[in-house]
Amino acid sequence: MSIAQILRVPILPFRMVNAHIIKTGDGCIVVDAGIPGSEHKIGKVLARNGMFYSDIKLIIVTHAHTDHAGSAARLRSLSGAPIMAHQGDMDYYTRKKPMTYCTTGLAGRLFFKTPVPHQPFEAFEPDILMSNADVMSLKDFGVDGIVRHTAGHTDGSIAVELSSEDALVGDLIASGILIGGIAFTGRAIRPPFEDDPHRVAEELERLVKSGAKRFYMGHGGPLQAPEVMRHVHALNQLPRHACAHAHCDHNSH
Ligand SMILES: [Zn+2]
Ligand SMILES: [Zn+2]
């Protein structure tokens, strides 16, 4: 199995929103699809690296927020690649329910007032649907790594762990300022929305303990393991209330 290379797709400038491509010697896997209309940005990075949409073997959607799932359906039609996602966010992928947003602070509350989190995306049914604690191997897609359920940011959040000690974790963690990116991208922060910080802390700690050294995220990044652990300790200091969206008065829960 060839060594995989991780390419960043800038969805918004200054690392505010990223998608990623795991490139192998024979095609690639796209991790997250950006806000609606991002397929051309992904296409541009493919072209710059000598690839076409047809080189996409798999589209992994880490969770159902619109800045990650937004272009997945469109990308599937362009590439013919299957979409892998987790059952926990299924009702949002199919748009049966409006997405819930548990804001983590001022930046999240301000971001929530912008059109970005509310952009309706084309509904889709994942072709490879993970459930509960399923672990999926990426070997069939040419990558030495796995996808695992890492709930906490949303119920159906998943993360990619590569044997190269790289982890692509969606919004389990962010870095920078405001929604992420912009400046101080070596410093971990909570993403603008997060359902359960204590669950997130458990998953991040598990990832570090299982050998992940570099973390690639949807907002900001990348981060090294020691900074991720510093963030885990900060999350563990937060008051322990089950979120259950009780303090989120922004949406229909
Ligand atoms: Zn998110
Ligand atoms: Zn996000």
Q: Are 102 and 245 in contact (CB under 8 A)?
A: yes
User: Using one digit for the tens of pLDDT, what is the confidence trace for 76-118?
Assistant: 999 999 999 999 999 999 999 888 888 888 888 888 888 888 8
Q: Pick from 163, 164, 168, 145: which is nearest to 68 by CA?
A: 168
Does 58 map to a domain? yes
User: How many whole angstroms from 217 Cα to the centroid of ligand 1?
Assistant: 10
User: Which pLDDT value is given to residue 250?
Assistant: 39
User: Distance, CA 16 to ligand 2 centroid (Å)?
Assistant: 9
- Identify whether 250 is part of a domain: no
- Condensed to tens digits (0 to 9), the pLDDT of residues 152-202 reads 999 999 999 999 999 999 999 999 998 888 888 999 999 999 999 999 999
- Is the Cβ–Cβ distance between 20 and 9 less than 8 Å? yes
Confidence of residue 242 (pLDDT cuts 50, 70, 90): low
Domain containing residue 155: CATH number: 3.60.15.10
Q: Compute the distance from residue 67 Cα to the ligand 2 centre, in Å.
A: 5
pLDDT of 252 higher than 50: no
Angle between helices 225-236 and 197-209 (to 10 degrees): 150
Neighbours of ion ligand 1 (CB under 5 A): 65, 171
174 touches 220 (CB < 8 A) = yes
Ligand 2 centroid to Cα of residue 163, in Å, is: 25
- Alpha carbon 19 to its chain's center: 8
Q: Does 241 reside within a domain? A: no
From 156-160, 227-231, 246-250, the region with the lowest mean pLDDT: 246-250
Number of structural domains found in the chain: 1
- Least Cα distance to 219 among 36, 38, 14, 66 occurs for 14
Separation of CA 78 from chain center: 21
What is the model's pLDDT at position 234?
A: 96
**pTM summary value:** 0.93
Q: Is residue 253 scored above 50 in pLDDT?
A: no
Instruction: Please indicate, yes or no, if residue 149 is contained in any of the structural domains.
Output: yes
Per the DSSP assignment, residues forming a β-bridge with 58 are: 29
Would you state the pLDDT for residue 2? 65
Structural domain for 215, as ranges: 5-236
**Can you give the pLDDT at residue 247?**
44
Distance CA 81, CA 96 (A): 23
Does residue 246 lie within any of the structural domains? no
Measure 57 CA to ligand 1 centroid, in angstroms: 24
| Residue 249 located in a structural domain | no
Asked if residue 228 belongs to a domain, the reply is yes
Per-residue pLDDT for 243 more than 60? Answer: no
Model confidence pLDDT, tens digit, residues 10-47? 999 999 999 999 999 999 999 999 999 999 999 999 99
242 lies in some domain: no
